[in-house]
Amino acid sequence: MLSGTAVDEHLYRFDIYICLADRYGIQVPPEKLLTVRNAIVDQFGGLTMTSTFGNPVYDGFWKSSTTRKVVRDKNSIFTVLAPQSEETRDYFLKKRKQWQRLLNYERLLITVHELQVL
């Protein structure tokens, strides 16, 4: 994923927290997860992800803003290294809303971190 990356290049690392069930607890069809994965690979050339079955799948706990109840879910994390640019941030801002609808989530969490490749 980083072949040809220049030393001291500054990148963003995006972590996309992919719940394996939608807002109603229904398992997200694998083809929808592939849609998200393929969009990222097409745009940035690759990603790293945790398994969507078996281990390591992460347990998540969050309080629903609509029901105010604590929800437990199973998650995969898609990690993407991408150029530090406004266009890159805009891509994920736009896609977050689309993917949130596609996956039927109350909210899709995407974090961004600045990093430097040595």
Instruction: Give per-residue pLDDT as tens, 33-85.
Output: 999 999 999 999 999 998 776 666 788 888 888 888 888 888 999 999 999 99
pLDDT band at 5 (very low <50, low <70, confident <90, very high): low
Number of domains in the chain: 1
The CA distance from 8 to 16, in Å, is 24
Structural domain includes residue 1: no
Whole domain around residue 108: which residue ranges?
A: 10-116
- Residue 77 in any domain: the answer is yes
Q: Per the domain annotation, does 4 fall within a domain?
A: no
The C-alpha atoms of residue 54 and residue 43 are separated, in whole angstroms, by: 28
Query: CATH number of the domain that 51 lies in?
Result: 3.30.70.120
Distance CA(96)–CA(94), nearest Å, equals 6
Please give the distance of CA 68 from its chain centroid, rounded to a whole number.
Answer: 24
| pTM of model > 0.75 | yes
Here the tokens at position 50 are: 């945790």
**Cα–Cα dist 113/72, whole Å:** 25
Whole-number average pLDDT of the chain: 89
Residue 92 pLDDT more than 90? Answer: yes
Q: Is 101 contained in some domain?
A: yes
